[in-house]
Amino acid sequence: MSEATPVAARQVRALAGVGIALLLLAGVTVLDAYRVAVSTGVGVGPSASMKLIGAILALLGCAHLVAAWRTRAGSMPVPSVEQEPANRAALAWVFGGLIGQILTLMAGGGFILGSTILFVATARAFGKPLKSLAPVYGAILSTLVYVFFTKALSLSLPAGPLEQLLG
């Protein structure tokens, strides 16, 4: 095996560190899932989603460790690292969307409206104009998420006027 370059060695340490952190987080998530009280209502319950998230985190952790091993062995090329300047306008749109969502929830606007605001602001950060179909997509996606969490998982989310219409 050839001598590792400093960039490759840093990348291997970073990949392995992230992989170990993800595996630890997966373990904590699954352990907490087994400590959640069993739901008495109809539906899957909150522990099912926690177990799914734990499994996904474990899979990602293993993938990072495999990538670290392959990079260390030299079978995976080390990409060149070039710093790009941060897109401050995009960051401002995302943070503005988060603040908008928080303020909407505090004012009683509900999950669907708050999440739609966040979706539209994030779409704008990625270059979609405000007059695009992003608000429609955001409202549909937020409604689907709300229905899934409240009906399938029996969890409560902040309800506003739109959520009261859904029952």
What whole-number percentage of the chain has pLDDT above 70?
86
Helix ranges, the chain (H): 6-35, 46-73, 88-106, 111-125, 134-147, 161-166
* Full-model pTM: 0.61
Determine contact, residues 26/55, Cβ cutoff 8 Å: yes
Show the tokens assigned to 4.
């590792």
Q: Quick one: average pLDDT of 146-162? A: 85
pLDDT tens-digit profile of 131-144?
A: 889 999 999 999 99
**Confidence at residue 1, expressed as pLDDT on a 0 to 100 scale:** 45
Q: Which long-range contacts (CB under 8 A, 24 or more apart) does 103-108 make?
A: 104/160, 105/158, 108/158, 108/160
Kindly tell me the burial class for residue 119, based on how many C-beta atoms sit within 10 Å of its own C-beta (0-12, 13-18, 19 or more): buried
CB burial of 89-110 (b: ≥16 within 10 Å; e: otherwise) equals eeeebbebbeebbeebbeeebb
pLDDT tens-digit profile of 36-91?
A: 777 666 667 777 888 899 999 999 999 999 988 888 877 666 566 666 788 899 99
Give the integer Cα–Cα distance in Å for 30 and 58: 10
pLDDT at 121 over 70: yes
**Confidence at residue 166, expressed as pLDDT on a 0 to 100 scale:** 82
Determine contact, residues 152/43, Cβ cutoff 8 Å: yes
